[in-house]
Structure 1
Amino acid sequence: MKKLTIRYWIRCLVLMLVTFGLITACSSYTVQNTVSPIEVVNKDCRMVKHTMGKTCVPINPQRIVTFSLPTLGNALTLGVKPLGSTFIDMLDEHTYLKGKVDSIQSLGISSPNLEKILLIKPDIIIGWHAEKQFYPLLSKIAPTVLFDFQPDKTWRELFKFVTQVLGKQEAAQQAWEHYHQRVEKLKAALGDRYKNQEISLVFLAPGVIFSEGKNSFPDSILQDVGLQRPQAQNAIAPYTQIYFSLEELEKADGDIMFVGTLTDDDQEYLEKLKQKPLWKKLRAVQQNHVYPINYLTWRAGNLLAADAVIDDLFKYLVNIP
């Protein structure tokens, strides 16, 4: 992946942490009322409740635009290939979406390209509440639904929302069955080997060290598999992220440590970190149990990425290098 500037990274991170401000505008597609998530209006239209109210969406949309990698991944999981999506430019050949997004048009990152979206002529636009500031314009292009991704919401709920919007309940059930089958296969392969061991997750951004806390995307997979986290990481935090200072590096430790970086700058920071005395004292480091993982894959929040995370767990915990 080509080197990204810090300003570029910060803008991306802000989006991924879902910290955009609220906006209360509505459009001709939207009526502000409390309704059930899905309400059939007629043979061509269903009313979907979302963070901006409720929107009439086509029963069988063909021209779909998605915002955010989790939403894109959810659509692909359900067998639906959007015509355009944001964040595609962040992907590299090592992510779980390799070969799956080649024909999908990139719509930008921090600011969706409205001109490109207009040219696509979408039937529906699906995103999350980070796009609220663009909603008045987007909803004039096509019916737009946004998932209200708050700290108490999970990646599973976003998948359920996308499933309801696209009407792909059968595909969703098959995807969950595949996930649970893989989890059970991994649990059988692991046996009791890691019963009393702690699995640490560490991610690096420029000058920042953090982990994913309890009920985050990667933590929920580890829980399903029956793997434990270090006490310092087994906590609920806003938007699931737990930050460590360099002086608190021991909180990043475990019997096994998975480390993910996004940019070349992050990798350089990791190399400098490896020279620090505190790093060298970590038991995972001393036992040579530190393994690289793909940052975007392990933080992706969708079932396609979950499959890739399970692949990594097989690779590093079962088929030990």
Structure 2
Amino acid sequence: MRYFLGWLILGILGFTLLTACNHHTFQNISSLPKQPAAECRMVKHTMGETCVPINPQRVVTLSVSTLGNTLALGVKPIGATNEVQIDNNSLTYLQEKTEGIKLLGISRPDLEATLLLKPDVIIGLDWFKPIYPLLSQIAPTVLDKSDYANWQKHLSFVTEVLGKQKTEKALWQHYHQRMEQLQQALGDRYQNKKISFIYIGRNQINIDAKNSYAGSIIRDAHLQRPAPQNVDAPYGAFPISLEELKKADGDILFVTTFSKSGNEFLKNKQQEPLWKKLKAVRNNQVYYVDFMSWAASNMLGTDAVIDDLFKYLVHTP
């Protein structure tokens, strides 16, 4: 099972049809006069090497993880896609920061709208390989490997593209400072307790492994996971059946859903005897958190997850 945004990649496979659907756009792009080359530097990415502007001013991002990292680095894109705006979920931790950014599409970008924005660089993930030739004719385009189990690498990639190494260093200093504050506030009260995190959607219960985005934050807080969750997994997660629900047990259970069907599925499972037998359920220590924050896979979302750890583990009696 892929990481909890991984199922969205299946939709990206539809991009193989996108070139045909955007033939007119391709002709429009191809007919544009070439702009004089500005001063630039070479960046290696999944499609090769591309020369990007030294100080890009009109950035377009093609994933939420890219958008969050770009904003965290102090650059506000002029346009972005949002592959996780599903069933009226909103990017709660980004809301105030995205005002004025043009939404270019859910999952796949509207190429004509992107063209009209006249970006000087486009940054995305390798989901977009099928339309890379079109994107690269609009502006220098760089695509990073989509690796949700190593979100830190994508931050470094966006940092390199934007030339914001000093800002990235400050972001990590802030992150580690908050972690130290959290650890001090927690003290030793969770020394012998296990922290479980599951997410639910589309009739499936999924365990968030230790190498996931949220799993890495929980690990950095020096909190322990239940043995079945204290493992690495492809894309940072794996599914379980209702009969395997014991793998979700812990002293504390964080739960999130990412769709209306997931909400209904969870509501039904909460009536099951196996759910009611979970230790966290019996002790009333189940906490429901925002999917968008706990699935952010970018530096900007870390504060939201750490805030929740403070809220439920420090400030909750």
Pairwise TM-score range, normalised by the shorter structure: 0.7 to 0.9
Kept after mapping to 2: 8 A contact 1:198/1:255: yes
Deviation per CA, 1:277-306, whole angstroms, max 9, x where unpaired?
100000010000000101111011111110
Which consecutive segments of 4 or more residues in structure 1 shift more than 3 A? 12-23, 91-94
Q: TM-score, normalised by structure 2?
A: 0.87
Kept after mapping to 2: 8 A contact 1:233/1:242: no
Residue in 2 aligned with 1:14? 7
Residue in 2 aligned with 1:75? 70
The alignment's C-alpha RMSD in Å is: 2.1
Kept after mapping to 1: 8 A contact 2:63/2:125: yes
Aligned partner of 1:86 among 66, 81, 86:
81
Residue in 1 aligned with 2:151? 155
Residue in 1 aligned with 2:141? 144
CA distance in 2, matches of 1:77, 1:17: 28
CA distance in 1, matches of 2:228, 2:131: 37
1:65 aligned onto 2:60: yes
Residue in 2 aligned with 1:194? 190
Offset at residue 22 of structure 1 (A):
11
Higher normalized contact order (CA 8 Å, seq sep 6+, divided by chain length):
2
What amino acid maps onto 1:145 in structure 2?
V
What amino acid maps onto 1:98 in structure 2?
Q
CA distance in 2, matches of 1:85, 1:289: 37
CA distance in 2, matches of 1:233, 1:18: 28
What amino acid maps onto 1:222 in structure 2?
I
Aligned partner of 1:113 among 81, 101, 110:
110
Gaps of 5+ in 2: 17-36
1:36-55 → structure 2 map (5 Å cutoff):
44-55=39-50
Corresponding residue pairs, total: 291
Aligned partner of 1:228 among 224, 249, 253:
224
CA distance in 2, matches of 1:94, 1:136: 30
Gaps of 5+ in 1: 1-11, 24-41
Offset at residue 89 of structure 1 (A):
7.3
Identity of aligned residues (%): 53
Offset at residue 109 of structure 1 (A):
2.1
Kept after mapping to 2: 8 A contact 1:14/1:20: no
Deviation per CA, 1:244-299, whole angstroms, max 9, x where unpaired?
11111111111100000122221121111100010000001000000010111101
Kept after mapping to 2: 8 A contact 1:17/1:239: no
Q: Give 1 or 2: higher helix fraction.
A: 2
Question: Judging changes above 3 Å, is the alpha-carbon distance between structure 1 residues 17 and 199 closer, same or farther for their aligned structure 2 residues?
Answer: farther
Kept after mapping to 2: 8 A contact 1:67/1:128: yes
Question: Judging changes above 3 Å, is the alpha-carbon distance between structure 1 residues 264 and 316 closer, same or farther for their aligned structure 2 residues?
Answer: same
What amino acid maps onto 1:165 in structure 2?
V
